[in-house]
Every structure is written in structure tokens, then in C-alpha cells.
Structure 1
Amino acid sequence: MTTPLSPPASTDPSDLPVVRLLPKANARAIRHGFPWVYANEMVTDRRTKALAPGSLALLEDSARQVMGVVAVNPASKIFCRMLDQNAEAVVNQNWFEAHINRAVQLRDQMYDAPYYRLIHAEADGLPGVVIDRFGDTAVIQANAAWADVHIDALTAALVEQTGVRHVLKNASGRTRSLEGLDDVSGVLHGEAPSAPVQVPMNGAIYMADLTGGQKTGLFYDQRPNHAFAANLTKGKRVLDVFAHVGGFSLAALANGASSAVAVDGSAPALELAQQGAEAMGVSDRFATRQGDAFDILTALRAEGEEFDVVICDPPAFAPGKPALEAGLRAYERVARLAAQLVAENGVLGLCSCSHAADLTQFRTASVRGIGRAGRRAALLHTGFAGPDHPQLPQLAETGYLKSLFFRL
């Protein structure tokens, strides 16, 4: 665990240190919107290496032309994150409020209730910052050092622009460790909820544990894919594998599925799924199986079980390039085991949230697995994250989620 970062001494551009690109760096890409500068692209003398993680600086190209205000972390492979191409920008509460206000306006155009991802990092102009909203409570993941440094201003701006009564900080996850940050979660404003929060989505009710659940408590990114799958499930038997709190299964039951089984390794997540089913009044059509998903898929096959719709939404098997080959093999295995459980003319949904596996690689692994199961497939639909998870075109990592739906 590291020591908490100190607040900035000043955010006035005239007081900021200057950091400079090497001649080999792709300054054009940065000017055209790429938000990161890697350590091997920077002039890293003793002075720049001594800058505190989360410091603000002015970025210059190799010709000493100012490119904007950046956040610096000498301890990270991402040495600089572009905050504002206006070199006169002052990063304070007002600056955060402008970004949050713009994000709120976009979400309010698309959603009739305040349950969504409010800030999606670089795509919403706040690199490394994720904020999910759950009614009058918001959860911040500050996954970059600069966001930890400015957490008070960010929290005040969030409260001012949204009116939320409670703001929590979630410090879990691999990204913070890569930035040299601590893993201490807590309450930034108001109070932590004493019970799971009910989240209405696609006609279903989900129970989100905002303090002890995975990530911020719920995965909003799959909302449109839940909806697509639910449209195929009326009167059908559904198997939801890697279900977490019942993402696909509860949406299916809300839209008329005859039955749904949720499979997950986490007993607490399945308990929340059960509570959601009870809140919806569909618990008589809902069942759970807790354990290793691969083992349960194999067991269901041995039991002779069959489902009209099977959906698998595993964790990231390939979170980085070193894990890519093993991750693709895992996706192939999931597809093979799941395809064996799909009834004739049924639907198989396969999902990946791996940054390192692009759509083509994931689709190839999935089709190979379906073929190894002895099934023939037609691709019905390719889905991505919802519009509250906008993509930054210059940054492929923001388009991480892929969902494929096949008729077998």
C-alpha cells in the first residue's frame, strides 16, 4: 500500500513545470486526440523524474511548442495524460464541473433515470476516471494518480452538478496498482449505503453492492446486449453463465423467459441475483448454481440439460498482451462447452471484455469453439458497450466490450 497523494500546490498554468517530447515521439497523434504519452517518448531527466505522481505540467513537443496541460506520473508507463489542449486551462473545481455537466447532458438525453456510467475516462475528457451513478449515490474509480490528487475538487464538482447525496471511492482493480496507488476505498461525501441499491434496467431490478461488490457494484456496459438477448427469450429456457448479479438472466425473465439459471463463482453475487429476482416477483422461474463455470458447463452437459438461449459473459481472459494466447484459448473453450448446451435453432451469446483481444480475434476463437462442439452457426448480432460508455476513436482500449450472438 502506498502513501496517499498530496493535493497540488498550484494549478495555475504559469506555475506549472514543463515536460518535453523526444523528437521520435508522435506529436501529431497527440495533437489529433491520442491522450497518452509513454515514458519512452519523453525527455526524462532528473528534474522530470522527480515530479510527484499526479503533478500537472505543460507538455511541449521537441520544437518547444506547447501542446497543452498534462498530468504526469513518472512511476507509470503512461508518463503523461492529456487533460486539456488549452495551455491556459486551470484544473480546478470549475474545470471538473464543465466536464461533468457535459457528461450529464449526454446521459440525460439517453436515459430516463439516473442509473448509468456518468464518466467513462478518456472519452469523457477525464483520463483514468470512472464514475458510475446509482440514483443519489455515485461511485468514483480514480485509476490515475492525477485523479487521486484532485479527488476533493472532483467530488465537490460531482455533487454540485448532479445533486448526488453520497459519493464513494472504489480503489480496487489492477489499474491503480500500475499507477502506484493504494487500494483504500471509502466515503468521499455523505454516507455509504447500508444495503444493496436497487437498479432498474431493461425492465429488471438489479441489486448493486456499492461497497463490497465487483468494481463499482454493477456492470452498466452490457445494458444494450442484455436488451438484445432479452428480446430473444420470451417463453424460452435461459442459461446465464458468469452471471454476476444476474445481468442477462434477470433481463430475460423481465421479458417473459420461461426459466433462467444463473451460474457464477461468487456466492455473494448470486445471492444478489436471487434478491433481484425476488424483488421482480420472478423467483419461481429463477435458479442459481455456484461454482467454477467450466465445471458447471461440463456437468450440465453430463446431466443432459439443454437451453434455448445460453449466454456467457466471462471476466477478461486477456487483460493484456502477455495473456492474449491463453485468453483466446479460454474463449474458445467457453464457446465449445456452451454450444453443446444450446437447443437446435437456439441462440448462443458470447462476450469478451478483454482489451487485448480485438473483435476479429475474439470472433475467430468463438467460431472455432462452436465448430469443435460440432455445431454450425449463423452470426445474428454483434454488440458493444452502451452509449454511456463512449469510445475515444484514437484509443482502441475504450472499445473493449464485444458481444456475439449466434443461432446454432
Structure 2
Amino acid sequence: MDGHVNGTVVLKQGRAKPALQRHPWVFSGAIERIEGAPTDGDIVDVRDAGNNWLARGYLNRQSQIVVRLLTWHQDQAIDADFWRRRLAQAVSGRHRLAGDPSTTAYRLVHAESDYLPGLVVDRYGDWLAVQFLTQGVERWRAEIVSALVSLVTPKGVYERSDVDVREREGLPQRRGLVWGEEPPEQIEIVENGHRLPVDVHEGQKTGAYLDQRENRARLAPFCLGADVLDAFSYTGAFAVAAAAAGAERVTLVDSSGPALDLARRAMALNGYQRADYVEGDVFSVLRKYRAERRTFNVIVVDPPKLAASSREVERASRAYKDVNLLAFQLLQPGGILFTTSCSGAVSADLFQKIIFGAALDAGREAQIVGWLSQGSDHPVALTFPEGLYLKGLICRAL
């Protein structure tokens, strides 16, 4: 693949500050003109209004983010060696996890926060699941896969680029094997010492919510002898963590029957039997429990992303408030609410205000006894605060 610079993006007067501060995105509104004849996916230089060189990245006119920046060093070429070095840097950042037999699944590459915009790589035991989310990384997919195989030596590399963002980039969705052996229908991973089945072919994200691994470990101290409700349980990773910590009973609620089937298998793999599995709309099920005056010692509220953009924040805020209000109403005195949001458009400050409102409307006094975020395998570059998307609270209801 040719990494030759094929054009120059010149910024408007006064619009160079983000690039100077090494933020990886250049938006369409900041651009004065594009010189040369680059095509989408090509490498371009970025210069300020005075023609001073700022950075180098890849172009896509079809996106609001017209340039995603890769380097701030003018002598650094974007070639196969560049991608290998950046990938090696990301992989080395997970060396502690790579040597830990109690965890065999984690994120290897976290896109912009690993200075590899548009690229996500998750490890599931002997397999890698990859997402090429932009025109720029799509151009370099062969070099990226080759470097990953060399650095990690997996059995296979499976693509999960079946996401809407690809279409906004002018790319078709893709899913399938790109190198090596096809992964089995279910890959058995280990997380915090617990065995979990993962479906990389059909599962959410690339197969599992790896960003919650450290939060699941933090759930354990609250669960001994507890009656636990896992709302939006998906494939039961929080439920397994609760059962392993000595929960007396765990109730899993999710709208997906196939996800609950995997949850049953996860619990069985770890030898836990004391669980109830409820397929249905989580809001409706929690309202039913409220009507029945059922209560719990610990409630986990871990919904999927409810706000994909700032336009959806108001609607998402109402949904977050409603489900957490129900959770507060179902908690026994002294009970623990373990609640999170993975919507990047909902800030941590706004989320805390939403939980405050939910407790107030539920007539409950509550304390924050802990804050939650994404695991260390999902780092946040200091130059890219948008990389911090997962936030949560551990609350004690009085």
C-alpha cells in the first residue's frame, strides 16, 4: 500500500488550535480548502491559514470528520512500518493482561485513544475480532492484519465491521473471517477467573462488553448473601461475578432470548445454579416487580447505548432516569445500585444529575460510594477526552 501524501488540507484562520493540541479530528467547518486531488482514504497533510505544517492524516469528505490525524511529526511517513509500530505500542500497553491467565479477553486497540483512529481490535482467547470503521483504516486493512498476526500470533482474525458508522463513512458493512481459522460458534474466554462463552459472529459489539471487566470485579464485595437483580443482563457476565462472590440468588432480565441462553451456559460453566432468567422488556419487568413489592439487595443497571449522538441525549436521559427510579424503588434499605451509561454523548456530570433525580423521585435518600469507568484496556488519550464514554455510580440507598 502506498502511503504517499496526496494532498493538503488548509484550515481557516483561527481553526488550528485543536490540531496543535493533537486532537485527532478535523471537522468540515474548520477547512478553508483542499489542495491537490486526493480521494477519500488518501493520506493528506494539514496546514494552518499561514501555510504552516500541522499534522498528517487520512481524508474522507463523506464524513463530518474530514481528516483523522495520525502523526504530528512531519518526517513520519504513513506506511506499513508506521502501522506496525503503532500496533506494537498498543499491544505492549496490554502486556500485564497478556500475562494474566485469569483474563483472556480484552481490548488490544482502542481507536483514537491508541492513536489509531477508526481501528478497534479485541482479543478473545486465541482469536482477534477487528473493526475497520473508516475509509482510512480500510485502505490499510491488509497491512494491519499482517502486523496483528505477527505481533499476537492468533489462531484467526474475524471482522465485525457490521456497524452503522461504516455506512456514514461511505463503506458497506462487513463481517467474516479475514485470516486464519474460523472461530467456533462460541469462544470460551476467562474473565477475572470466570469462564464465559462469547459469540463473536453475532454478539453485541465484537462479541462482549469487555469495557466492564474491572467493574464486574468491583461488584463482588457487595454480593455475599445478597439477592441480586441484573437488569439488561446480556450474556450474564455481571451475574456470574455476583454468583461467584456468594450471592444467594441472581435474577437476570434481558429482552434477548439468545443472550439469556448464553447467560445460562455461563452460569453453568462456573457451577452456579441459583438463578432466574426473565426474557422481556426491562422497564416492564421492573414495573411488575414494583407492583409485586419485590425487593433486592443489589441491582445492576447496565443498559446498551441509549444516545448515539447529542440529538438523542434528552430522550436517553428520560430513559436512564426511568429505569434507575425503578431500581431505587426495588432496593432494600442499605441496598446497592450499580448503574452505568455507555453513551458518550451523556457526560458523567449529566449522568450523576440523572441518578440524583431518579433517587429524589423515588423518595429515596442515597449515597455515592464509588465511581465507575471503562477498564484500563480502554485507555483515554489526554488529547482525546471523547474517548471516555463509560461512566457509572455505585450508590447505597438508605
What residue is the counterpart of 2:9 in the other structure? 19
* Cα distance between partner residues in 2 of 1:143 and 1:74: 15
SS of the residue aligned with 2:223? coil
Determine which structure has the larger strand proportion and give its number: 2
What residue is the counterpart of 1:290 in the other structure? 279
Match of 1:77 among 47, 51, 64: 64
SS of the residue aligned with 1:340? helix
1:36, 1:82 within 8 Å by CA — same for their partners in 2? yes
Once the two structures are superposed, residues 59-113 of structure 1 have per-residue CA deviations (whole angstroms, 9 ceiling, x without a partner) of 1121112222211000000000111112232323322221121122211124514
- Runs of 5+ in structure 1 lacking a partner? 1-7
User: Is 2:371 the counterpart of 1:371?
Assistant: no
* Cα distance between partner residues in 1 of 2:258 and 2:39: 39
What residue is the counterpart of 2:152 in the other structure? 162
What residue is the counterpart of 2:342 in the other structure? 353
SS of the residue aligned with 2:222? coil
User: Is 2:30 the counterpart of 1:41?
Assistant: yes
What residue is the counterpart of 2:379 in the other structure? 390
What residue is the counterpart of 2:394 in the other structure? 405
User: Is 2:44 the counterpart of 1:53?
Assistant: no
2:43, 2:57 within 8 Å by CA — same for their partners in 1? yes
Match of 2:52 among 53, 59, 65: 65
* Cα distance between partner residues in 1 of 2:86 and 2:58: 16
Shift of 1:396: 2.6
1:51, 1:74 within 8 Å by CA — same for their partners in 2? no
* Cα distance between partner residues in 2 of 1:403 and 1:203: 23
What residue is the counterpart of 1:248 in the other structure? 238
**Counterparts of 1:234-313 in structure 2 under 5 Å?**
234-282=224-272, 284-313=273-302
User: Is 2:102 the counterpart of 1:96?
Assistant: no
What residue is the counterpart of 1:5 in the other structure? none
2:22, 2:72 within 8 Å by CA — same for their partners in 1? no
One-letter code of the match for 1:368? G
* Cα distance between partner residues in 2 of 1:299 and 1:379: 27
Once the two structures are superposed, residues 269-302 of structure 1 have per-residue CA deviations (whole angstroms, 9 ceiling, x without a partner) of 11111111111111x1122111111011111222
* Cα distance between partner residues in 1 of 2:38 and 2:80: 23
Once the two structures are superposed, residues 122-150 of structure 1 have per-residue CA deviations (whole angstroms, 9 ceiling, x without a partner) of 11110021110012110111111111111
2:124, 2:189 within 8 Å by CA — same for their partners in 1? yes
Shift of 1:244: 1.1
One-letter code of the match for 1:291? G
1:202, 1:223 within 8 Å by CA — same for their partners in 2? yes
* Cα distance between partner residues in 2 of 1:191 and 1:165: 6
* Cα distance between partner residues in 1 of 2:255 and 2:77: 46
Most deviating of 93-102 and 160-169: 93-102
2:185, 2:201 within 8 Å by CA — same for their partners in 1? no
TM-score normalised to structure 1 length = 0.93
One-letter code of the match for 1:264? D
Once the two structures are superposed, residues 373-406 of structure 1 have per-residue CA deviations (whole angstroms, 9 ceiling, x without a partner) of 1211011101100110001223232111011111
2:45, 2:55 within 8 Å by CA — same for their partners in 1? yes
* Cα distance between partner residues in 1 of 2:224 and 2:373: 23
Once the two structures are superposed, residues 184-230 of structure 1 have per-residue CA deviations (whole angstroms, 9 ceiling, x without a partner) of 21111013213211121123222110011111001111111111112
SS of the residue aligned with 2:269? helix
* Cα distance between partner residues in 2 of 1:314 and 1:353: 8
* Cα distance between partner residues in 2 of 1:17 and 1:51: 5
What residue is the counterpart of 1:4 in the other structure? none
1:233, 1:255 within 8 Å by CA — same for their partners in 2? yes
Superposed structure 1 runs of 4+ greater than 6 Å apart: none
One-letter code of the match for 2:80? Q
* Cα distance between partner residues in 1 of 2:19 and 2:354: 33
* Cα distance between partner residues in 2 of 1:165 and 1:85: 35
What residue is the counterpart of 1:106 in the other structure? 93
One-letter code of the match for 1:305? R
RMSD: 1.5
Shift of 1:254: 1.6
2:164, 2:173 within 8 Å by CA — same for their partners in 1? no
What residue is the counterpart of 1:87 in the other structure? 74
One-letter code of the match for 1:355? G
Aligned residues between the structures? 394
Distance change >3 Å, CA 203–CA 303, structure 1 → 2: farther
